[in-house]
Amino acid sequence: MKTINIANGEIKASEISLGCMRIDSLSKGDASKLINTALEEGINFFDHADIYGGGRSEEVFADAIDMNPSVREKLILQSKCGIRKGFFDFSKEHILNSVDGILKRLRTDYLDVLLLHRPDTLMEPEEVAEAFSTLHSSGKVRYFGVSNQRPLQIELLNKYLNHKIIINQLQLSLTNTGMIDAGLNVNMKNDASIDRDDSVLEYCRLKDITIQTWSPFQYGFFEGVFLDNDKFPELNKKINEFAEAKGVPNTAIAIAWILRHPARMQPIAGTTNAKRLKDICKASQVELTREEWYELYRAAGNILP
């Protein structure tokens, strides 16, 4: 497994991470198999959130690996907070309370990274800054990030933060390419030219913010997987063609397409199947050419200007 330096900084992470949203559905044995498979494949970065399984996913994770200090030092743990039932909450009180709950469920003294989960339009950045400073000075959180935020939302936060944002989680897959489309269709009147994200891809590259891509196999908003899906015949034909030529599963090609981008994005694989995870990890050894990358992009239905 190749590695990346998150935000060009001190965190040396596997270029593919394991998302733990659904592991609450697994038995201890199956969860242990999944996590140990990840470690064997070179994955050291694990993504959580306090809402995953209502907090149960974090408990299952800690139980599955029998969390202790010697195990903890091998892991990079990230979790998220800010989503509550029916609203978002970036208040200082909620952030601090959420982290205490996360640490208790993960049976650890600290998080490597805490993300604010989606934007909260009622956010008071001064409060967030106070919460982050308290968490950092107490040793409970080392680094901070966000998910699904625009450049100016991050700029607003960074104006007040002593510890700047290093990660932005964004949806990206071969069938969800909006932040790439807008950068290719500049000064055009077609739908692909609509910039819904304020050039967030280029902004994150400029600011050394690592983009973590969620749902790398999904189309739409959790509408289903595009692999082996009759709705995407041309895309699957091209993916399977490259998979056969390179001797890897189709999942590896879909992830390799993300890894090929020079932004050095980190895909989050949310599978709960250990064999599927092994297949996904083969993407780290796949090299796509520029021509192959664009062939896949066009096969997904995108038209170059």
Where does the chain have alpha helices with state H?
28-40, 56-64, 69-72, 92-106, 125-137, 151-160, 178-184, 200-206, 233-246, 250-259, 274-281, 290-299
d(CA 198, CA 156): 14
The counts of H helices and E strands in the chain are: 12, 14
Q: One of 52, 143, 203, 219 is an active-site residue; which one?
A: 52
Which residue in this structure is represented by tokens 């790439």?
180
Reduce the DSSP state of residue 288 to 3 states and report it: coil
DSSP 3-state of 225:
strand
Taking a C-beta distance cutoff of 8 angstroms, is the pair 269, 19 a contact?
A: yes
Question: What does the DSSP 8-state code read for residue 173?
Answer: B
**How far is residue 194 from each of residues 47, 178, 181, 198, 213, measured CA to CA in Å?**
31, 8, 8, 10, 20
| Rounded Cα distance, 266 and 145, in Å | 14
- Identify whether 110 is a catalytic site residue: no
Closest CA to 155 of 165, 163, 147: 165
Q: Which sequence positions are flagged as catalytic?
A: 52
